[in-house]
A and B are shown apart, each in its own frame.
Chain A
Amino acid sequence: MDLTYTAAEEEFRRELRSWLSANVPAEWRRPGFWESLSDEESFALRRDWERDKALAGFAGIEWPTEFGGRGGTPGMKAIYDVEMVLADAPRSVNPLGLAFLAPTVMAIGTDAQRKEIIGPLLRSEVIWCQGFSEPGAGSDLAALSTRGVRDGEDFVVNGQKVWTTNAVHGDKIFTLVRTTPGSRRHRGISMLLIDMHQPGVDARPLKQMSGASEFGEVFFDDARVPATDVLGAVDDGWRTAMLLLSFERGASGISQYTEFRRQYDEIAAVARRLGRDRDPVVRGRLARVRTELECLRLHSMHVLTQVEQGRDLGFEASATKLQWSETFQDLWEVYDDVLGEHATLTELADLDLRPLNAQAFWSRSVTIWGGSSQVQRNVTAERVLGLPR
């Protein structure tokens, strides 16, 4: 058992901390700061900051140096994830591009694609969206019907994507499109890399139940994409998508643990402030969720160990997602228990409850996106436990 990081990893932590303390403005740590900005202002600020961070060498931590990464260890990536949360660094403007598209392009992209996509993505010069879900294809992704028809050197794309993160800010979208007319299920699909700045693409925000608009819809109306802008082979897009999603498997949950632990402490502080910490039922509920949070921390050390040992975690990623997302949701249900009749108030005594409620509402979404809890349970039952389909 060795729960420490190497000297080189700790040195990396010191460098990163020092950069973050000099480059995260104090104002950003003020509760409610980000909520006080418009969506446009917030995105622009985060985009510039993320570019500066990349230019300082604190991006692509585990990427090979040939792609502009740092060539760091899995331990450095874990440290990076933790320190970003502890420093109150803003959320990434390119989460899906960085986590999923980039490693896929490194693995199977053409030389031209590697050159064009990876550097600008790392520096947030190009914001990438993911075009997978459709109104008729949510958990059942293979039911997608957006179609692309070959026309000379281009594909002409028609259809609609939905739940698209950063849709209104996107520059490009990696999109699953049915390129063989009449093909069924997993066959005849290609992953097209579509420029969103063209008349045939219309991105609209979706207002969520929280009031925020992290997601949107993307409509394709005779959008054009050069036939060379296919990631992987034409009609082999399902395989490309599965490869792309496999890069989630190394995710340990340490970033989620760090964030949720702080939220636990905040909720505990509210409980103390309201005298609710003396209620035995509230104490029991908080302790139950803290137990699950500690398990998440240990699980993240387990995942990191497996990654460092070079093992493929396979479908164990479903257990990781279930543990963090269900625990996060439980945590914010406890918040409601703590607040009791005040659960929907925007303020109480001298407490500003808006940032807390933003998280409480957001917690309803995490068991849906990225593979719903029900899908993750199917995967766990069939692929891990071996129960019949």
Chain B
Amino acid sequence: MTSPLLLRATNLACERDERLLFSGLSLELRAGEAWRVGGANGAGKTTLLRTLAGLNDLYEGAVERLGRLCWVGHRAGLKVLLSARENLAWFADLNGLQGVDPDAALARVGLRGFEDQPCLELSAGQQRRAALARLLVDPAPLWVLDEPFSALDVQGVELLVELCTRKLEEGGALIFSTHQEPAGLPLHGLVTLQGGQSRCEPRHAS
């Protein structure tokens, strides 16, 4: 009994500034799975995630996306002159999301009372939370998250782990990059990038 496939990468290779970041990388992401991408600074974690999300065209191999995805990158994707609510409403309109309640999503990520503040006046952690609110309004089955835990406080990390766990239970999947393994999140695979070598290990969650 296998769950539906959401993302398949075959034989990926990418080079930046004549430095090989990864090659021969293949992975399959199925519903209900969480994969972590690890590696030192500059090892190519971001490039790999951008390639999987479809934001990088300079690669070899094939990426197959079987469904929509929601991307939260290193850059928050927020217009700092607009409020968190306005940013979220723009995102919903852009993607044609129906029945979105921006205030409820912002309250869920702990930004109640900050909905109307220009994002400029929010702290780095709050901006990250505002970006993560996109995950709540977008029903895309696949989440691709680049360093989602950076700048978050302890409660923020707990919240994100909780959201991810919920997503997995609902039949979603996610792939994200971090340096430290987040506690409490069941992982089904690990991609390690190191000096042009890549290792993909499926792992059976306990």
Q: Do A and B belong to a common assembly?
A: no
